[in-house]
Amino acid sequence: MDDLSLPKINSLDLQQADSEAWDAIAAERIRQSRSIELIASENFVSRAVMEAQGSVLTNKYAEGYPGVRYYGGCANADAVENLAIARAKALFGCAHANVQPHSGSQANQGVYLAFLEPGDKIMGLDLRSGGHLTHGSSVSVSGKWFQSISYEVDARSQLIDMDQVRRIALKERPRLIIAGGSAYSRQMDWAEFRRIADRVGAIFMADIAHVAGLVAAGVFPSPVEHAHVTTTTTHKTLRGPRGGMILSADAEIARRIDAAVFPGLQSGPLMHVVAAKAVALGEALKPAFRTYARAVVDNARVLCDRLSQGGLSVVSAGTDCHLGVIDLRPWELTGKAAETALEQIGITVNKNAVPGDGARPLVTSGIRVGSAACTTRGMGADEFREIGDMILATLGGIRSGTMNARTLKSIHEGVSDLTGRFPLPY
């Protein structure tokens, strides 16, 4: 039998073929290696995931689904997609998984296409309260094609008020109710969302793009048994390639979802990415992943506690997951200024809206921090306290106007020490 191992492609192939692309990629590798990555949407995949994504499956067009393709030569594509489906079902305890969406946004769009008509009402968490663009923002298709109704967090507790959700739903009678977000750090009452949806005759969609890895590991409540349909990304806390999935339990829902994704929304799946999803899902099924996920939550709490102790305002006073949102208004700083200052010392965060934010989206009044990527590097509670101290020193210096080159250099040396002690695995 012929050798079926994947061809080994040396990095010199790219370097010699396209030095400009190589230089950008090499520079990004150095940036990732030497930076403390706190963007909650990001993580570091394993070598195995990267090898699968860079495999010969990038050459295969496999329009359709396993066993029902519109192209020949799809036996291996079927095998890898079936593997990803089986692992997703085992990991999340669902009856059906569509692993083809190219992103979390397209997973959400697949649900909309399956169940909604233009002009229908959808109801999701307001962007400033931690929601996502695809949950009804006016700049998104979800807000342009559908009537968008938002619920917000309580002004005092900064938690979702389920009484408010119920009142709005009973008044507006949306066709779809969405729970989940990109900057909400607390657990959600999935069961109550479902009860409200049933009461008004709505579809209940849970978007777990951020917490999917934590859900899979059992350290964050799962919505799968409550939601009609659950969407997610495969990166972030799930630590896989950039992509999406849609999970469901009902056969009729599954049929509609599959038809919406293909042929309704997108054509041929990215089979190399599907293969990488399969590898990542396999990794998440191992006991070590549960240990990792618990550490992610513990580290996020340590970081948020340290920032709070240092005088920063943490939205909802803490976190139940991998992320925290910091309100900078008491310190009279903008998210943009904080993001820029922290990047100068090698700490990467993203500016983020906070509840009641009046600043422009490209400025914002807060930042979002996440623990998943640095936990992958092996950092623990002591290191996250140290990271918190670096953030406090940097933002405190900017706030007081006392920041100088010597202080910046000292903090940056601390970043270099941490990243040197906890290198990337590649």
Active site residue 207: yes
Domain positions in the chain are 52-285, 294-421
Active site residue 283: no
Please report, in tens digits, the pLDDT of each residue of the chain (426 residues total). Answer: 344 444 455 666 888 999 999 999 999 999 999 999 999 999 999 999 999 999 999 999 999 999 999 999 999 999 999 999 999 999 999 999 999 999 999 999 999 999 999 999 999 999 999 999 999 999 999 999 999 999 999 999 999 999 999 999 999 999 999 999 999 999 999 999 999 999 999 999 999 999 999 999 999 999 999 999 999 999 999 999 999 999 998 899 999 999 999 999 999 999 999 999 999 999 999 999 999 999 999 999 999 999 999 999 999 999 999 999 999 999 999 999 999 999 999 999 999 999 999 999 999 999 999 999 999 999 999 999 999 999 999 999 999 988 888 889 999 999 999 999 999 978
Q: Which of 239, 242, 256, 351 is catalytic?
A: 242
Active site residue 71: no
Give the pLDDT score at 10: 60
Q: Which of 37, 126, 152, 207 is catalytic?
A: 207
Nearest to 242 by CA among 88, 138, 103: 103
For residues 354 and 368, give the distance between their C-alpha atoms in angstroms, rounded to a whole number: 9
Active site residue 233: yes
Active site residue 198: no
What pLDDT digit, counting tens, does each position of 94-111 carry? 999 999 999 999 999 999
Task: Give the β-pairing of 244-248 and 96-98.
Answer: antiparallel
Annotated binding site for (6S)-5,6,7,8-tetrahydrofolate: 127, 131-133
Overall CATH class of domain 52-285: alpha beta
CATH number of the domain at 294-421, out of 3.90.1150.10, 3.30.310.160, 3.40.50.10860, 3.50.50.100?
3.90.1150.10
Q: Decide if 15 contacts 4 (C-beta within 8 A).
A: no
**For residue 285, what are its two tokens?**
């099924």
Annotated binding site: 127, 131-133
Residue with tokens 């909309």, as numbered in its chain = 112
What pLDDT digit, counting tens, does each position of 277-294 carry? 999 999 999 999 999 999
